[in-house]
Amino acid sequence: MKSGFIISTLVAIILAVVVVVGWGQVSELKKEMSALKEEKPAKSVGSSTRTGTGSRTGRLQSSSSRTSDPSKSERAVVEKNDSEEERRKAWEENPQKMLGEAIKAWSESDLGKRMEQAENKRKASRLYGSLVEKLGLSDEDRDYFLGLAGGGSEDELWGELMFAGQEDREAVLQKWEEANDEREAAMREFLNDEADWKRYQDYESRIEEHEQVQGDIRRAMEGAGVPLTPEQETQLVEVMHEARQQGDVNEKWRGRGVLNQLSEPGIADRLEADWQAGQEAMSAGVANVLSPQQVEAFNESQSRQLRGATEGLRAMESFIGGGQQTE
């Protein structure tokens, strides 16, 4: 199920908004501080003219009068107020578009790209760590591998499609698919061994389950005092993966399915229904792998993830109009 990706996407979007808005506020603050610094010498000079004598005082007074042109200052205030009013109206009229543009600007900035690459590599290091060991990669090869493996995730696609206009979504999806094809080709060329390539494909096809087991499920088990053994984690990944293959979850919640989901209202309700079906499909297998206490912790973990995903999606639908994109 896509809850892990959905939750991480919503968190990323919220952080992006905070960063973008915060950066804008910092920029405005810097402008104001710069203006104050320009005014400060004039005030100091004015003070000097009151205590100074001779021609130097005259020169200082003349300089002060040149730096405090009231008409120029008034124009700057009016222009600033007009600009702020225009931004406020734009946010009120089309918040989805404005937020999308803000996030896009941030993601395309040098700082945004560096942060995204670092986060993707950090996440890939956690998720693909065991595979890297099996592949026996050197430090240099490991760094390259994680850079490839960490890119093109489903959460990136969700984030881009959520705030793209209806007319832009097909292009966004095609660009994402092309980039993923290029990464896959680069990965196959890099591994340069059919056995390693097959090992990578098998692991990659279970990456959603690895993410859940290594993340919230593991923490839930440890918090309940019933930690999983490595063997149980491996078995649980297989049970969850097999349950996901039984239905049409992949088609509905991956790739083009993401675009289709975002085009219709009621995303949270559909996620909840598919989630429940998945839980039923894996219940017997989970009970065979886990103890009763672990099953309880597992179910609580899954319910918590579902609540986080559906609540976030409902809030996001409310914000962007529940599948109705503004132009």
Q: Specify the pLDDT at position 46.
A: 42
pLDDT in tens, 153-175: 777 777 778 777 778 889 988 98
Is the pTM higher than 0.85? The answer reads no
Q: What is the mean pLDDT of residues 314-325?
A: 65
DSSP state of 217: I
Q: Which residue has the tokens 């494909």?
A: 201
Of residues 107 and 167, which shows the higher confidence score? 167
User: What residue spans define the domains of the chain?
Assistant: 23-91, 110-192, 205-327
Q: What is the mean pLDDT of residues 95-110?
A: 74
Average pLDDT, the chain: 77
pLDDT in tens, 26-81: 444 444 445 544 544 444 444 444 344 444 344 444 444 445 555 656 666 566 56
Of residues 7 and 235, which shows the higher confidence score? 235
DSSP 119-180: HHHHHHHHHSHHHHHHHT--HHHHHHHHHHHTSS-HHHHHHHHHTS-GGGHHHHHHHHHHHH
Q: Which residue has the tokens 């918040």?
A: 95
Q: Which of 60-74, 117-131, 203-217, 289-303 has the lowest mean pLDDT?
A: 60-74
Element (H, E) at 53: none
Residue 327 has pLDDT above 70, yes or no: no
